[in-house]
Amino acid sequence: MQQQEPRKAMQLYLSMPIIAWALFDLANTIFSSNINTIFFPFYMNDTLGTDEVKQQVASTFISYANAVASILLVICSPLYGVLVDRTGLKKRYTMYFTLFSVGFTILMGVFGKISFDSALFGVPMSLALVVIAYVFAKFFYNSSLVFYDSMLPDLGNDKEIPLISGYGVALGGVGTLIGLLVYPISIKWSNVDTFIPTALLFLLFSLPLFFILKDKPKPKVERIPFFTGYKDIVVTLKDMKKHKAIFTFMITYFFLNDALQTAIAMMAVYATIVVGFTSGQFILLYLVSTISMIIGSLVFGNITRAAGAKRAVTFVCFIMIAALLIAVFAQEQWMFWIAGSLFGVSLGSTWVTSRTFIIQLSPPEKTGQFFGLFAFSGKVSSIVGPALYGTITLMLKDYGTLASRVALGSLLVLTIIGLIVHLFVRVPKSTKSATIES
């Protein structure tokens, strides 16, 4: 929906299609916070981590499960782009993948309550089935986001989109709070009992998008080959030779995002088994980290304007390095409170600075092309970090919590590599004085 005159903020926020779209951000954040970050890791540690060695094995399972889900997404995401281009059915596929994610999340709760006499992969059948269900729940959740994000340009013009996007982020923060309403269930019963209520909350707040937003199907004129998405990535990579600054920054983002997303995914387990947080203390820490994320995104929006996107990304790298250093050597809980807050700032600021830098570096006619590769780079990086973390905890499991500290330290190495690569990004003179309107 394109308009010549941008609407005022309140007009946007009270528009039913935009409310429905933003509520899905709230809905999927409930899944991301409850399942990916909090209660699935808690469940794994409760079920498998009966001693220090098995706690490291639990970390390995969590890491590998995240890596496998990311591999599936990397394989399929180019095909999703073709589906969008061929059909225009963005809402429909968002709905389909959301329902699959909800279904597998419910199965996590079902499998976790059933006792089996057999084992799979050397672990109890019940736990193995929960892990498998988690892999597919996360895969379908991430798949739904590909189509959900592609709906944003249909909701407003260029000057309205930042406000609409920020509205979604704000409601996503509310989703974190709503998701934690199931926490008393974990106290009274168990962490596995939170899975089904989380799935139902995910579904409930997705319903406005399902019923209010309408697709705009594309006319069936020219059939797009289904594997065009893979060819487009190859073509874009070849074109990157002409745009070395973007290519160099993509490498920076690969390492920085790799470390950051892995640290966030393993935060709950690390805080509890290494630093000694109780589940209740971690919930409070997670709330503080969420607030830090919101503050970080707002503050770095201004820093990026004032200092430039390249310098802002450099600042983010240093914050991430500080967070990891403190976390790796944390002996007292107050140290991890600082680290957790810095992780939140890093998460919020990375999104703001990296997106702005891509816009600055990309020729206007190729912005969409490079954003596609930027998103693909983020998906690939989400494989390497969890796989590295899980392999280290598995290999060093006999050393107890030291294994987790070394694994987290490996993310510090990745971040430093990203920072070093970033220093070699050469911003073209034509973009140094450019300003990004929001």
Q: Are residues 195 and 309 in the same domain?
A: no
Please give the average per-residue pLDDT across 217-230, as a whole number.
67
Q: Across-strand partners of 218?
A: none
What one-character DSSP code corresponds to residue 223?
P
- Indicate the residue among 217, 244, 270 that finishes a domain: 217
- Would you say 360 and 303 are in contact if contact means Cβ atoms under 8 Å apart? no
**pLDDT, averaged across the chain:** 84
Question: CATH number for the domain including 292?
Answer: 1.20.1250.20
In this predicted structure, what is the pLDDT of residue 220?
A: 67
Q: Are residues 262 and 347 in the same domain?
A: yes
Least confidently predicted of 48-57, 65-74, 186-195: 48-57
- Is residue 438 a part of any domain in this protein? no
Residue 299 in tokens = 């503050």
- Is residue 342 a part of any domain in this protein? yes
Query: Among the ranges 117-126, 161-170, 176-185, 291-300, which has the highest mean pLDDT value?
Result: 176-185
Query: What are the CA-CA distances from residue 87 to residues 189, 215, 223 (Å)?
Result: 45, 10, 10
Output 22 or 357, whichever has higher pLDDT.
22
Residue-range definition of the domain harbouring residue 91? 10-217
- Is residue 437 a part of any domain in this protein? no
- Indicate the residue among 165, 190, 217 that finishes a domain: 217
In this predicted structure, what is the pLDDT of residue 435?
A: 42
Q: Torsion angle of alpha carbons 415, 416, 419, 424, nearest 10°? A: -130
- Locate the DSSP E strands across 90-249: 119-120, 123-124
- How does residue 81 score in pLDDT terms, banded at 50, 70 and 90? confident
- Is residue 267 a part of any domain in this protein? yes
In this prediction the pTM is: 0.81
In this predicted structure, what is the pLDDT of residue 229?
A: 67
- Locate the DSSP E strands across 250-344: none
Q: Are residues 175 and 255 in the same domain?
A: no
- Is residue 223 a part of any domain in this protein? no
Nearest to 208 by CA among 365, 41, 16: 16
- Is residue 105 a part of any domain in this protein? yes
Q: Are residues 182 and 265 in the same domain?
A: no
Residue 368 in tokens = 């969409």
Nearest to 227 by CA among 11, 48, 81: 81
Least confidently predicted of 3-17, 19-33, 103-117, 411-425: 3-17
- How does residue 431 score in pLDDT terms, banded at 50, 70 and 90? low
Q: Are residues 78 and 43 in the same domain?
A: yes
Please give the average per-residue pLDDT across 122-150, as a whole number.
89
For 330-370, how does the pLDDT look when each residue is reduced to its tens digit (9 = 90+)? Answer: 999 999 999 999 998 888 788 778 877 877 777 766 665 66
How many structural domains are present in the chain? 2
Q: Are residues 53 and 192 in the same domain?
A: yes
Q: Are residues 305 and 180 in the same domain?
A: no
- Is residue 280 a part of any domain in this protein? yes
Q: Are residues 233 and 212 in the same domain?
A: no
Q: Are residues 192 and 314 in the same domain?
A: no
- Is residue 152 a part of any domain in this protein? yes
| 3-state SS, residue 190 | coil
